[in-house]
Amino acid sequence: MDLWAWIGSWPGAVLLQNSGTAYLFVNAAHILGIGLILGAILPLDLRLIGLFRQAPLAVLGPFLSRTAGTGVALASLTGLWLFTVEPGRYLGNTAFLAKLALLALALGNVLLQHRNRHYRAALAGAPLHGSVRLLAMVSALAWLTALVAGRWIGFL
């Protein structure tokens, strides 16, 4: 048995293949994870770009980052589980591959932002540096295009 067939036959995949209700709940949890990501990242990115200056970054930043992290964990776990239903089909889907690449870009950008000394300084009240603004723009664009690629999967 090849790897993809083996993945498609694990008990969690079989459960989703045979139960519309289970698939519904896992898919809903995936959408909830996506909602947490975008619902937290977009306001934070807009604040980091320089909008909504009255919102205290020192308070919002850590809370929104943790919320987005929770969303990433939930969306990743449920996304991997959904992938196991038909791994071969997903790996042949251009939109799925684009989504993976965009997610890698978005997550890599998160690492860059959190390692950026100017980001840490901004959370402490320093003025927003250009690199923080640029990474926030990349973040918003990457997460939104990953969302579009994810919706595109079902149309290919």
- Tracing tokens 């919002």 back to the chain, one arrives at 60
The per-residue pLDDT for range 63-117, each reduced to its tens digit, is: 999 999 999 999 999 999 999 999 999 999 999 999 999 999 999 999 999 999 9
- Confidence band for 156, pLDDT divided at 50, 70 and 90: confident
Query: Is residue 1's pLDDT more than 80?
Result: no
- 13: part of which helix (H) or strand (E)? helix 11-18
Q: What is the 3-state secondary structure (H, E, C) of 48-109?
A: HHCCCCCCCHHHHHHHHHHHHHHHHHHHHHHHHHHHCCCHHHHHCCHHHHHHHHHHHHHHHH
The per-residue pLDDT for range 110-120, each reduced to its tens digit, is: 999 999 999 99
Q: What is the pLDDT of residue 10?
A: 95
Q: What is the tally of structural domains in the chain?
A: 1
Query: Is residue 53's pLDDT more than 90?
Result: no
> Which residues span the domain enclosing 139?
3-155
Euclidean distance between CA atoms 16 and 88, whole angstroms: 16
Q: Which residues contact 10 (CB under 8 A, 6 or more apart)?
A: 84
Euclidean distance between CA atoms 48 and 41, whole angstroms: 10
Q: What is the pLDDT of residue 55?
A: 87
